[in-house]
Each structure stands twice: as C-alpha cells, then as structure tokens.
Structure 1
C-alpha cells in the first residue's frame, strides 16, 4: 500500500521536527512515516549523502507521496534540488510541498504540461538557492553587528525562531501578502511586515539572542 512520508531536515537548534510535522498535518496531510536529518546543511550536502536521506531513497516506492515543507528541505542548490525531484518522479513518487501545496509527479505525458511542471521545479529550486545565499548574508550581517557591539542591549526577544523566519522570507519572496503569511506562521502581521522591511535585522535579532 502506498505511503505518505514526510521528510524533514533540521539544520539548526531553532528548527524543530515537530514544527515541520505540525505544519504538514495542519495543511491536511496524513503522514504515515517521518524521516528526518538533524544538524545537516542543505547547502553543503545533497539528499542522497545525508544519513536519513539515503534511507529515504531506499524506502520510497512507486505510488508513494513524499511531503516536504518546501523544496529547500531537499537542498539549497539549484542542480541538486532539480535532480532530486526528477529522480523521484522517474521512480513514480509524487513530491508535494506544504507551503503553497505544490504537487510534482511524472504522470503527465503532455509536453506542454511537462514544460510547465519542469519550469516550476526550476523556479522553486532557484528560489531555494537564492534564499540560502540571502540567509547566509543576513547571518554574516548579524554576526558582524554583534561583534561590533558586544554589550549592546539585545532588545525584545523575537517571537519567531529560525525555521519560522525562513518560512516568512520564503512566502514573502513568492509574493504572499503579510496577512496570509501571518495566518500561516502564527506571527502578528506587524512582525511579518518588520521582517519584510529588513530580513537582515530579523536574522540579527536571532543571532543576538542565540549568543
């Protein structure tokens, strides 16, 4: 019997497996099994090289559904993400995302539909890589600010963690409105707007409270 498997990549202490699973269930997914990698970067490691990523390749069968919060859980490199999704589609696995409820499968044989699907995969993979680069830049800015002002008051503790911040930035980057993002993440609309105005400052706030 086909299974619905959630794959979660938890790369920092701010991200949690339970948060990603809760998001998937809230979106209506009935998860049969969870496979997760902890403390693994999507920038420096491809899915097939991660401990549980390897197991995922062995577990998935034709007709199974692979659920991920977004494609950045599979990787943060354009080529890696596109190769991974296409490999799963060739195997008859359906890949679905929690954010925006996207579905990718290899069932269609219509060339126009294939072209649209492949273009969308490419766009999302490119967005994942661009977001990874933007996050790294924001982290560097936060670290530099902390070094420049080691005794500076940390300000109010952020109401979001690193995982939630990534979701907000991703959704805003895809054109979602502040109200929609707030509803999805549980943050206030004002917090979402502050993140939208200055994502580097939002990341810096997390860095200050992590120190």
Structure 2
C-alpha cells in the first residue's frame, strides 16, 4: 500500500521545527512517518534522511514544506530529485510551491514543467545564499577598515616585552631567546612585534 512520508530539516539544534511539523501533520501524515534532521543542508549525508530513503517504495509520496528543506546545494538537490522520482519512483509534494507536485500532469509536459521550476528555484536559492555570504564578507571588510576588531582581544604584552624587543632589534638576542624571555612561541613573538611596531614605531 502506498504511504505518505514527511521530511523536516532545520539547520541547527536550537532552531524550531514546529511550523514544518504542523504543516506536515495537516497532510494527515502520522508522526512515525515524519523524519527530521537538525543539521546543515549542504549535502544529503543526514541520518534521518537516509533512514527515510530506505523506507520509500514506488508510488509513495514525500512531502516537504519548501525546497530548501530538502537541501541547500543546487546540484545536490537536482540529483536527489532525480533519485527520488526516477530511481525510487516516488512522488514529491512541495507544500509552498504547488507546481512542484509530481502527482499532477504525469505526461511529458507536466514532468518538464516540474523539472524546470525545480531548477529555477534551486538556482535562485543557491544564488541568494552566495549573495548573503558575499555581503557578509564585504561588511566584515568594511568594518575592519573602520577599525572594528573581530575575535578575542590579544593578551596584554609582558612587562619586559619592550626591553626584550629592544635587545632583539639590536641583534643582541635571537628570536628563540626573545620568545623564551617573553614566554611566547617564536611565531607569537614575531606577530606581537608587528603589532608593537604599529603602536610604537
């Protein structure tokens, strides 16, 4: 007998999945046939998604609330759509996009329209994510130019740093000895020297 399954995905454990769950329960899907992962959608190596794949049989219906709940990578979504509809031979219903309902128009035109809509939506979703990352990077770069600091504040320099730095600068100490006297690694000493020079040129 054909069954209806639901799939829920949220990106992290602190995100709430209740809206997706209510939407799927309104499709009369019992709780034991709703699978949920709380992890990134960058690929499909998710425990509950893989468990659901093993349950799906030809003629079953998979419901998701939106295409980005299925995944976040354009090429991966298209490949998974192909696996579900052609290899597993299951139908898919995307609740917030009625055109993405493979039960309707089972002819070649209907399949073409669904595939076309899926490709457009997947491309738009991925393009928007890339734009968000680009805007974030631009915002961070602009903030750094304004002098905004990111990350942890560096530890205060040891009291003897200026003295040790002076001796090292005059060639009276090796880097290893200067680092030892300031209780730093050689890499840290060199890095702190650069920042010290900016403050005390």
What range is the shorter-chain TM-score in?
0.5 to 0.7
1:50 — aligned with what? Answer: 46
Q: CA RMSD in A?
A: 2.9
**Correspondences of 1:13-162 after superposition (within 5 Å):** 13-25=13-25, 28-32=26-30, 33-38=33-38, 40-43=39-42, 45=43, 47=44, 49-90=45-86, 91-105=88-102, 110-137=107-134, 148=148
Decide whether the 8 Å contact of 1:78 with 1:125 is kept in 2: yes
Conserved? CA contact 1:8–1:35, under 8 Å: yes
- Give unmatched runs, 5+ long, in structure 2: 151-201
Q: 1:148-178, CA deviations, whole angstroms, 9 ceiling, x for partnerless residues?
A: 499xxxxxxxxxxxxxxxxxxxxxxxxxxxx
- Return closer, same or farther for 1:2/1:139 CA change in 2, 3 Å cut-off: farther
* Number of equivalent positions: 144
Structure 1: any 5+ residue segments left out of the alignment? 151-211
Structure 1 residues 111, 19: CA separation in 2 closer, same or farther (over 3 Å shift)?
A: closer
Larger Rg: 2
Greater RCO (Cα-Cα under 8 Å, separation 6 or more): 1
Q: Give the TM-score, by structure 2 length.
A: 0.59
Shift of the alpha carbon at 1:66? 0.8
Which structure shows the bigger proportion of residues in helix conformation? 1
> Cα distance, 1:35 vs. partner?
0.5
